Copies of this chain bind each other. A is one copy, B any other.
């Protein structure tokens, strides 16, 4: 298991349908509330906080209690159905594309997903230095608009 709740070799969850299917494989029921949360995360490109997910759903008339939001986000991210990243102010959740690295725009709050592959030599060097077997990684880039 990597920190996203998946092994690297496992078939990735790349769409809403994949997510729903994965839930069923895991024995997680597809409740109305769970669907709402997954639908929201696959509609939005951004990463959202639990509180924000709760607010958006309820603003749109899709009533879900905050307890359920928290419990679902925890369960879904633990099982690799959605992604959980940490930022100032707490955890943010988003759908899982095949990209696990992010480009953070310093001029706005925008966070872009990007696919990055590090050279094997670099990873081996890290393993040698730390004595750990590296199972996963993600890169956070910080950039600004070119004006």
Mark A residues whose CB is within 8 Å of B.
1-3, 84, 86-88, 90-91, 103-106, 112, 114, 116, 118-119, 122-123, 126-127, 129-146
Contacts and interface: CB of A to CB of B under 8 A. Distances in A.
For the complex of A and B, list the 5 residue pairs with the smallest distance between their C-beta atoms, beginning with the closest: A132-B143, A86-B86, A134-B143, A136-B142, A137-B141
Oligomeric state, in number of copies? 2
A91 B141 CA distance: 18
B118 A139 contact: yes
Given A3-B142, A103-B132, A136-B142, 20 more contacts: A2-B106, A2-B142, A3-B106, A84-B88, A86-B86, A90-B90, A112-B130, A114-B126, A116-B122, A131-B146, A132-B143, A132-B144, A132-B145, A135-B142, A135-B144, A137-B139, A137-B142, A138-B140, A139-B140, A140-B140
A94 to B, nearest CB: 15
Contact of A146 (B86, B132, B141, B146): B132
> In this complex, which of A87, A90, A143 has the most chain B Cβ atoms within 10 angstroms of its Cβ?
A143
Q: Most chain-B Cβ atoms within 10 A of its Cβ — which of A3, A103, A104?
A: A103
A65 B112 CA distance: 38
